[in-house]
Structure 1
């Protein structure tokens, strides 16, 4: 397919004059012209322009952004990166929310991937993704509308997190991640897994709605160093067989999520209250 300049400007949420300027100054123009001389953009042209929008929204100068936009995106490197500053985090949140409200999933994915590349999973998750997703969730609760916005934003963050390369080196399974029975919210577990990948740790995620028996069987078979179970409501947390997990496995048992508030925990069960604390727990046991 090809697109007119007006259609592309609308897709990207920029003024047609900006599109014309980027074409004239930086050569980010259409690849196709009709027999009548009209400009038409192809999908590849639009993707370059999307990266241009992402980079300039993050404060990169237009000239530098034009060079970077032509380069293919690369997987984030492993290891620590520069933590995001409060001011930059606020700008990133606004950019992500603006793209979400326009239902621009490719732009959201690009924004999320750049944050992960520049600042790492923990900083991007705790200072940008969580505040933005919480704001969208509150918008849905308050107005009863915007579920599609929230779902697309969550999907875009998930897509970016899954772009973190996982270790292929053989070794011990550092962490087995699981939701409580009937728990359907599991994006936080994907963030934890991506952060473990940055540290070169092996991990497995059983995902949503894991029956108690299935979780116990997986622990028996995989013998992870740490087992972490997520729940966002107490009634879901109470269905997790913590005592049984502790007696039939040599793993450290940990829980995460707001659902554990007020739930009695066995003395040896750990409860990290943030992504960074969960990573420290796993690394402490692995090392």
Structure 2
């Protein structure tokens, strides 16, 4: 397919004059000109411009960004992961949010995948994904708009998390993850699962809105080492049958999410305060 300059500007969320300037100054123009002299962009041209938009949003000077944008992305390779510095986290958040507000799902997915490859799940989740998603959530609450932005951003993070290979080695299920009944926020469970995959652990995720009896039945049948239940509101957390869950499954029972704040929990229930602590509970039981 080919696209007109106006269509490309709309896709990237930039002014047509900016597109014209990048063509004239940096040579980031269309590959095709019709017999009538009209400019037409191909998919490859749009991808270069997408990278240009992200780089300039991250504060890279336009001339330098144009050089980098022309370079084809290198496929990620396995290597030592490094923690994200505060400065790097702010730049990554800014780039991700800029792509989100343009509804540029391919770019969000690419950025998320690169963060996971370079820095691992815990670092990417805690320093970039959570702050960015929280900011988008505040935007929706304060303005009443932007739900589509928040949903696409969450979907892009989910897509990247699910790209982390899961272990295929036979063995017992290390963790069974589940939302409380009628709880719909299950992306944090996917983050925990992806982090467990990095550790070589087998895990399962029952997902959102799991009825209490279904959760107990699944834990009884699967016999995981740890059952962790997520809830972001107290009224949802109170519907989780913790006593029955612990008795029937024989697993370590853990709970996570803001919904458990201030609630009195049975003595056997663990409540990790961070993603790292939740991973530690699973690894401790798996040893």
CA contact 2:179–2:210 (8 Å) conserved in 1? yes
TM-score, L = length of structure 2 = 0.87
CA 1:172–1:51 in structure 2 vs 1: closer, same or farther (change >3 Å)? farther
Distance in 2, Cα, partners of 1:56 & 1:203: 40
Deviation at 1:133, TM superposition (A): 1.1
Deviation at 1:19, TM superposition (A): 4.7
Distance in 2, Cα, partners of 1:7 & 1:226: 51
Partner SS, residue 176 of structure 1? strand
Partner SS, residue 172 of structure 1? coil
Deviations 1:242-271 (A, max 9, x none): 111111122111100000012211111111
Structure 1 residue 67 corresponds to structure 2 residue 78: no
Deviation at 1:136, TM superposition (A): 1.3
TM-score, L = length of structure 1 = 0.87
Deviations 1:138-189 (A, max 9, x none): 1211222222221121111111111212222222211110000110110101
1:96 is matched with 96
Question: Which consecutive segments of 4 or more residues in structure 1 shift more than 2 A?
Answer: 4-15, 17-22, 28-69
Distance in 2, Cα, partners of 1:111 & 1:268: 40
CA contact 1:51–1:110 (8 Å) conserved in 2? no
1:116 is matched with 116
CA contact 1:9–1:19 (8 Å) conserved in 2? no
Structure 1 residue 164 corresponds to structure 2 residue 164: yes
Q: How does 1:15-34 map to 2 (within 5 A)?
A: 15-16=18-19, 17-19=21-23, 24=27, 30-34=30-34
Structure 2 unmatched ranges of 5 or more: none
1:235 is matched with 235
Distance in 2, Cα, partners of 1:254 & 1:80: 30
Q: How does 1:215-234 map to 2 (within 5 A)?
A: 215-234=215-234
CA contact 1:196–1:202 (8 Å) conserved in 2? yes
Distance in 1, Cα, partners of 2:101 & 2:53: 16
CA 1:127–1:207 in structure 2 vs 1: closer, same or farther (change >3 Å)? same
1:139 is matched with 139
2:183 is matched with 183
Deviation at 1:68, TM superposition (A): 3.6
1:43 is matched with 43
CA 1:144–1:84 in structure 2 vs 1: closer, same or farther (change >3 Å)? same
Partner SS, residue 173 of structure 1? coil
CA contact 2:173–2:222 (8 Å) conserved in 1? yes
